[in-house]
Structure 1
Amino acid sequence: MISALILGGTQFVGKRLVQLLLDEGVEVTIATRGRTPDSFGDQVSRLKISREDGESLRVAFQNKQWDVVFDQTCYSSQEALDTIKALEGKIQKYVFTSSQAVYDFGTNHKEENFNALEFQPSLKPRGEYIGYVGYQEAKRAAEAILFQQAKVPVVAVRFPIIVGKDDYTNRLKFHVDHVADGKAMFIENPDLRYSFIDSAEAAKFLVSIAKSDYQGAINPGSSGDSSLRELVTLIEDLMEKRANLQSDGDPSPYNLPGSWSVDTSRANSLGCYFTPLDQLLGQLVRYYADNRH
């Protein structure tokens, strides 16, 4: 891989991805709306696009070539279609950041539990995908467009919940802070189970899968899953404080309608391994606890 286009690249996993590629000597181009500053200076090239304006993609990508595109910011079927049209003949591989949300609610999903080649997408802009159900349909439809219509190999990386010290969503930190402060917290379904992945390992996986010959869907992440009850118990044990769980408390940002977790054995079979889940969550809980003030 000599050159890469990153759609996104200014936040969270995208920032880590850019840095990893630069460290490997890859020529990196970042394509964004231009609203979020980055720290890469003259190490990267920049293009200004709007994912909701297909013409902006066509103009930005005109007369350009890259080995791989990493798509971090696609949230609709229309955006997926506009992007493959704008990049036709300009790339050799398409790495799409998808989500475990493509699966129905449940645990230990294998890749074949959702087949994008059999999904019939409707063309919609991102504004028509509402809530969790909309997010699920958006990622399913984007995968379907890419796998059914792209003329280059496609990888759909179905990430579980991404966590890390640089997680700007603060969803895991929410739970640590509430336990530490004794604030009331509402967990609707404490026994629902979720998979997780560290943000640094997520970025490394994207680079690894792009350099491989793999194509198709794949589930990366720490093996196994955790319930919210187990997560809160871990926080309680490490902080030696009891959680204040109340029906009128602040709702957990992990209050989802069902369990979502994945089987990561296919990624493991490619030689990709991740921090054990208990260790990952324990490290982050300690980090948030130690850096509260």
Structure 2
Amino acid sequence: MPTVLCIGGTRFIGRATVSEFLEHGYDVTLCNRGRHPNPFADNPHVEHVTCDRREDDQLQAVAEQVDPDIVVDLVAYHPRDVRVATDVFADVDAYVFVSSGAAYAAEDVPKREGATALESCTDAEAVDDTAATYGKRKAEGDRAVFEAAADGVRAMSVRPTIVYGPHDYTERLDYWLARIDAHDRIVVPGDGGSLHHLVFVEDVASALRIVAENGTAGEAYNVAGRHAPPLGELIELAAEALGADVTPTHAGARELTPDLEPDGFPLYRSRPHLLATEKLASLGWQSTPHAAALETTVEEHRRSDRDGSDRGPHRDVERDVLSRLD
């Protein structure tokens, strides 16, 4: 069987990625520090090697021990991570870096690979660990992929937008699911037209496999749902998946003042964030309709203890806004 090495692989996108490769006949090796539970511990087609990928000698030892056909790099958060990995795994059939839609600098609608400008990244930003430089570091990681491909490595980049689905530890969508499930009236910032493109986690996983198998070295591929529902429509779809009867109450900046601001709500964006996906679709990739993806997401959400309460306004503050609007 062909082998894939997942650097990371036990949480959210990584978990879905391992399942995707297993379903398509691969043996998988997880490479991580072992700090999170391994959901594949009992699967005979999944091995685990303990490695701190920031220690170059450890990563080199993994390359020699596993000798993978494909490497999917799920936890490269600094440009140096990508440069080291593309050197260590220079001879694999495919190296796929998980980048981000946050790598784009320009507010094009939609953002297109090779056309929309990427974020710049200084030497200081390249080693920073704060959220403020996340997109910059991912953009520099993309450039490291392009440089490696120019040197003969079959290296590629996949740029997901906001990802949702089972085991989402970011809890951005959990905030809305918990509110819709528990209350018959909720505050929605703006007029519901805020557009932050989303993608189902299983669709990201299939994109990583398809790019590894069919992508072109030195290319980046956006991944996002083929339909981009604005926030108001997303809430309607979520309510349907939950079987809930909820009344969204729209509130602009004036109605939210002084307690809240629109961007204090998860998945709100003042300008549309939309990624073009034709390039990935040309490789045979398809996305899951959001209604079907939300059914799966809701099922796991209800089994979890996630409510996203720290991701957005507390209910008592939201209740104050609702009372002012009555």
Equivalent position of 2:201 in the other structure: 199
Q: Quick one: structure 1 residues 282 and 14, their matched pair in 2 at CA, closer, same or farther if it must change by over 3 Å?
A: closer
CA distance in 1, matches of 2:37, 2:298: 30
Q: Quick one: structure 1 residues 8 and 292, their matched pair in 2 at CA, closer, same or farther if it must change by over 3 Å?
A: closer
**In the TM superposition, what is the alpha-carbon distance from 1:24 to its structure 2 partner?**
3.4
CA distance in 2, matches of 1:148, 1:74: 16
Structure 2 matches for 1:1-293, cutoff 5 A?
A: 2-41=2-41, 42-62=44-64, 64-89=66-91, 91-104=92-105, 105-114=107-116, 121-123=121-123, 128-131=128-131, 133-150=132-149, 151-182=152-183, 187=189, 191-215=193-217, 216-235=219-238, 239-243=244-248, 246-247=256-257, 248=259, 251-256=264-269, 258-277=271-290, 279-280=291-292, 283=295, 287=299
Contact 1:51–1:57 (CA<8 Å) still a contact in 2? Answer: yes
Deviation by residue 1:230-278 (Cα, 9 ceiling, x = unmatched): 333555676322236655369323245643211112222222221234x
Structure 1 range deviating more: 137-146 or 9-18: 9-18
CA distance in 1, matches of 2:57, 2:116: 31
User: Any stretches of 5+ residues in structure 1 without a counterpart?
Assistant: none
CA distance in 1, matches of 2:302, 2:51: 40
**In the TM superposition, what is the alpha-carbon distance from 1:76 to its structure 2 partner?**
0.8
TM-score by length of 1: 0.82
Structure 1 range deviating more: 65-74 or 9-18: 9-18
Contact 1:157–1:219 (CA<8 Å) still a contact in 2? Answer: yes
**In the TM superposition, what is the alpha-carbon distance from 1:202 to its structure 2 partner?**
1.9
CA distance in 1, matches of 2:20, 2:221: 21
2:15 aligns to what SS in structure 1?
helix
Q: Quick one: structure 1 residues 281 and 66, their matched pair in 2 at CA, closer, same or farther if it must change by over 3 Å?
A: closer
Amino acid at match of 2:223: P
2:4 aligns to what SS in structure 1?
strand
CA distance in 1, matches of 2:22, 2:293: 29
CA distance in 2, matches of 1:102, 1:270: 22
User: Percentage identity across aligned positions?
Assistant: 22
Paired positions, count: 288
Contact 1:29–1:47 (CA<8 Å) still a contact in 2? Answer: yes
Amino acid at match of 1:252: F
Q: Quick one: structure 1 residues 127 and 257, their matched pair in 2 at CA, closer, same or farther if it must change by over 3 Å?
A: farther
Contact 2:186–2:247 (CA<8 Å) still a contact in 1? Answer: no
Contact 2:180–2:239 (CA<8 Å) still a contact in 1? Answer: yes
CA distance in 1, matches of 2:128, 2:304: 38
CA distance in 1, matches of 2:137, 2:190: 25
Which structure has more strand as a fraction of its residues? 1
Contact 1:77–1:121 (CA<8 Å) still a contact in 2? Answer: no
Contact 1:235–1:285 (CA<8 Å) still a contact in 2? Answer: no
Q: Quick one: structure 1 residues 185 and 127, their matched pair in 2 at CA, closer, same or farther if it must change by over 3 Å?
A: farther
CA RMSD after TM alignment: 3.3
Q: Quick one: structure 1 residues 200 and 282, their matched pair in 2 at CA, closer, same or farther if it must change by over 3 Å?
A: closer
1:167 aligns to what SS in structure 2?
coil
Contact 1:98–1:156 (CA<8 Å) still a contact in 2? Answer: yes
Deviation by residue 1:35-71 (Cα, 9 ceiling, x = unmatched): 1121323432222222333343234334552211101
CA distance in 2, matches of 1:68, 1:115: 29
User: Any stretches of 5+ residues in structure 2 without a counterpart?
Assistant: 306-326
Deviation by residue 1:147-196 (Cα, 9 ceiling, x = unmatched): 11353122211112211233233321211222343486574795431222
Contact 2:96–2:208 (CA<8 Å) still a contact in 1? Answer: yes
CA distance in 2, matches of 1:171, 1:287: 16
**In the TM superposition, what is the alpha-carbon distance from 1:143 to its structure 2 partner?**
0.7
